[in-house]
Structure 1
Amino acid sequence: MARYLDVHPDNPQPRLIGQAVQALRDDALIVYPTDSCYALGCRIGNRDGLDRIRAIRRLDDKHHFTLVCAEFAQLGQLVQIDNAVFRLIKANTPGRYTFILPATREVPRRLQNPRKKTVGVRIPDHVVTQALLAELGEPILSSTLLLPGQEEPMTQGWEIKDALDHQVDLVLDSGDCGPDPTTVVDLSGGEPVVTRLGAGDATPFE
């Protein structure tokens, strides 16, 4: 059974954040809130966690996983960014966007798109997510919690706990995060291409 932590959305309890981070360090697979719905997450080096995310969501090897970062400097270590892309991302983070960019050597090959050698990155604007990232001290490997056959992600932590009780190790509940995933912007080809419309305003990339 998954552990269940009820965390305050605006003032997350340090003790509970610490428990969630320790679970991540122990190679747990967790469900956690973001500024655009809930996500599955584990440490970047957690191979078993990656395989479990693939199994839960029934993902193929073309899926772009997302590396969720605390701030821009952390993001810049994971993806290749030129000056134009730097300005564009800087102006729109933190926020409800995932950016697809060429991965650096810091990103394990198993996390990259096998053909394009790209990966997703984002900086969320959510107090609980930022508390997790600050305590962990490294990015979280993530994927939107959208189950096979569902048109929208689940928005309630207790509902997620019931559905995935034997498939994840911990559920961090901070209330309704909304049903919309991030807006995905592919910046790997120079010009921005919006590949998924979601919670973030796509206007800056059109």
Structure 2
Amino acid sequence: MAKYFDVHPQNPQARILDNVADLVRSGSLIAYPTDSCFALGCQVGNREGLARIRTIRHLDDRHHFTLVCQNFAQLGRFVHIDNNVFRAIKAATPGSFTFILPATNEVPRQLLHPKKRTVGVRIPDHVVTQALLAELGEPLLSSTLLLPDEEEPMTQGWEIKERLDHVVDAVLDSGDCGTEPTTVIDFSSGVAEIVRQGAGDATRFE
């Protein structure tokens, strides 16, 4: 049965965030809010957590997972960014964008796209997500909480708790968040390619 944490959207309680971060460090899989929609998240090196996300979402090995980072210091450890790409990403973050970039050796092999050796990264603009990442001190391996054969992600924490009670370990709820996944921009070739139009305004990358 999943633990349920109700946290204030603007002033998240440190005690709750500490509990959730401890769960993540101990190998738990959580559902948590972001600036686009709810996501599934676990520690970057958590192989079981990765497998559980694949099972819940019915994902194949070509799916781009996302490392949700607190800031550019974290992001720069996991992806290679040249100066032009850095400026473009910097201007759009924090925000509802996921960027696909060549991965560094810090990224576990099982997270990489099998052919491109790339990974998704993003810096969210969400108070609770940022506070959790600060408490955790490292990125979250994440994927949008979009269930198979459903067109929209779930947006209510209580519904997630009810439906995923036996497949996730904890639900962090701070009220409504968006219904649109992030806009995905592929920079792996050095130029922007819009892979998915979502919550972020992609006109700057056209």
Establish whether TM, by shorter chain, passes 0.5.
Answer: yes
Deviation at 1:183, TM superposition (A): 0.2
Structure-1 residue corresponding to 2:192: 192
Cα offsets for 1:8-66 (capped at 9, x unmatched): 11110111101100100110000000000000000011110000000000000000000
Deviation at 1:191, TM superposition (A): 1.3
Q: Percent identity?
A: 71
1:57 is aligned to 2:42 = no
Q: Distance in 1 between the 2:103 and 2:23 partners?
A: 27
Aligned residue pairs: how many? Answer: 206
Q: Distance in 1 between the 2:12 and 2:88 partners?
A: 31
Structure-1 residue corresponding to 2:172: 172
Q: Distance in 1 between the 2:13 and 2:95 partners?
A: 23
Matches within 5 A, 1:12-31: 12-31=12-31
Structure-2 residue corresponding to 1:162: 162
Q: Distance in 1 between the 2:138 and 2:172 partners?
A: 18
- The one-letter amino acid paired with 1:55 is T
Give the alignment's Cα RMSD to 1 decimal.
0.5
Structure 1 unaligned regions, length at least 5: none
Q: Secondary structure at the match of 1:147?
A: coil
Q: Secondary structure at the match of 1:77?
A: helix
Cα offsets for 1:137-172 (capped at 9, x unmatched): 001000000000100000100011111000000000
- The one-letter amino acid paired with 1:155 is T
Matches within 5 A, 1:1-206: 1-206=1-206
Q: Distance in 1 between the 2:91 and 2:202 partners?
A: 13
Cα offsets for 1:49-103 (capped at 9, x unmatched): 0000000000000000000000011101100100100100111110000000000
Q: Distance in 2 between the 1:74 and 1:171 partners?
A: 24
Deviation at 1:178, TM superposition (A): 1.5
Q: Secondary structure at the match of 1:155?
A: coil
Deviation at 1:190, TM superposition (A): 1.5
Structure 2 unaligned regions, length at least 5: none
Cα offsets for 1:87-132 (capped at 9, x unmatched): 0011111000000000000001100000000000000000100111
Q: Distance in 2 between the 1:177 and 1:94 partners?
A: 16
Deviation at 1:182, TM superposition (A): 0.2
Q: Secondary structure at the match of 2:163?
A: helix
Give TM-score scaled by structure 1 length: 0.99
Deviation at 1:135, TM superposition (A): 0.6
- The one-letter amino acid paired with 1:75 is L
